[in-house]
Every structure is written in structure tokens, then in C-alpha cells.
Amino acid sequence: MTNLASECYSAIVGGGAETIAGFLHWLARHRELGSPVRVLDVGCGPGRMFPAFKALGWKVTAVEPHRDFQEAAVESARAAGFAPPQCLGFTEIPIHSPFDLVTGINDSFAHLLGAEERTMALERAFGALRRGGVLFLDVPNFSWILKNYRRPGPLRSPVPGGEVRLQRSHEIDYHAATFTTVEDYVLSRCGVERQIQLRHPYAMTTFPELEHQLSAAGFAQVETYDSYAARSPERLTGSRILLSALRP
């Protein structure tokens, strides 16, 4: 990794790409997207999905608004044979692009805190898809999270030559309907400790609200899935909202 933020973040949350790719491969067949799938990955982070997308044989364009993550993603994309991701977010993605699939994996859509931002993002995603293309979003299910809230404990993960420790805390603003995760990382290597704090604010949206906004943007045939293990549409019962919607 090229920077402290990306190395620490990837050490803790960098796994699971194969599981996600397996679900997306099923989704592409389920939605009859054809092959190879042309995907726009919005909020690619440091680029953990690139090797899994390459293994699927997909054609990938990616964007990432966080500068440190985007810098790391450039290296990951080149290693996988993809074009370097631009430093853009959901409200800046190109429209009139013939993508089969637009993805917002691991909360990228949830970082849009205002309803106007979310409306703009869905309109741009609609414009980026071909007719018959699909939008996939993965966001927190805060109705479940708040009901089952527990204070997070410490986490640690080995890295080459050392380890990363993480302590999370949360700031909840019920008036603004935002939930902010504060991540305090310590990277220990060769007797030297480096610290960094990352803040991740989320909009506490519900599925009915998202469904309404998708319909207003022109999407149809909204389906939900309870986890990446799903292989058919499911009702939401857990901590995540996974959904797909079709551009007619």
C-alpha cells in the first residue's frame, strides 16, 4: 500500500472479495446481463475487488472519492490490468456510458448524507447504465443496527513486519439521521508505531426510502438480498441492505 490510511483500512476490512464477486456473478446471470460484464465500481476503496473482477473476466471502470484510497486503488487497478480509477464519487460519475452494472459496494452510497445528493447519484447511475442494466447497492441497515447496537471491541490484524490495531467508536445524530464511525488505527512495525484516525459518516436511510428514490429516478424491478450468500431475492432481516434495480 502507498499510504497509511489505505494500509490500515485494508488490513482490517480488506477481505471477502471472492464472496462478493461470487454473489455479483450470480446477480449478473440472474439479471441476464451477458458476458463479459462492463461494470462501473463506485467507491472502490483501495481496490480490493480488482483481482476478483479480473478472475471473472469483467471489464472494470472504477472511481473513488477518498484521495488516499484512490491513490492505492491506482496501483491495484494497474496490477489487475484495469485503467486507474479517477478521484470521483457517486454524484460525479459519467453519464451516457453503456455499463451493464453499476456497483456501490461496502457503503459508498451511504456516505451521501443529503437526500438531494442521493437523488443526484441515482440519476447519474441511471444515466450510466444501458437499457436493461442494473444498479447494485450495499448499505447498512440502520433499523437493525440501532435495535441491536453493541459497543465495538478492539480489532487487530497482522501485516508484513507488524500488525494493525483498531478501536472503533460511533457518533449518532438522530436529528440529522447520521451515524459516524470513528476509526483509530495504530500500525506497529519494527518497533515504530504510527497512528491515524478515519471518520466514516453514513446516512441512516431505510429500504422504503431507497425504494422510493429508485423509483423516482426511473429504476424498476427492485430486489433485496439479506447477505452475499443469497442466490435469490430475500426479505431484509439483518445488518445490511443489499439491493439491485433495473434500468428499463
| Other beta carbons less than 10 A from residue 35's beta carbon | 11
Enter the C-alpha cell of residue 62. 472504477
DSSP state of 86: B
Residue 1: predicted pLDDT: 46
Enter the C-alpha cell of residue 6. 489505505
Of the candidates 145, 216, 148, 213, the residue with the CA atom closest to the CA atom of residue 178? 145
Of the candidates 90, 110, 124, the residue with the CA atom closest to the CA atom of residue 210? 110
Domains of the chain: 4-142+206-246 (3.40.50.150), 144-203 (2.20.25)
Of the candidates 11, 7, 17, the residue with the CA atom closest to the CA atom of residue 73? 7
Residue 97: predicted pLDDT: 81
Collect all residues with Cβ–Cβ distance below 8 Å to 118 and sequence separation of at least 6.
109, 112, 203, 205, 213
Which parts of the chain fold into alpha helices (H)? 4-13, 17-30, 50-56, 67-80, 115-128, 142-147, 207-217
Q: Is the peptide bond before 36 cis (omega within 30 degrees of 0)?
A: yes
Residue 2: predicted pLDDT: 59
DSSP state of 133: E
Please tell me the pTM assigned to this model.
Answer: 0.95
| pLDDT tens by residue, the chain, 248 residues | 459 999 999 999 877 999 999 999 999 999 999 999 999 999 999 999 999 999 999 999 999 999 999 999 999 999 999 999 999 999 999 888 899 999 999 999 999 999 999 999 999 999 999 999 999 999 999 999 999 999 999 999 999 999 999 999 999 999 999 999 999 999 999 989 999 999 999 999 999 999 999 999 999 999 999 999 999 999 999 999 999 999 99
Residue 247: predicted pLDDT: 98
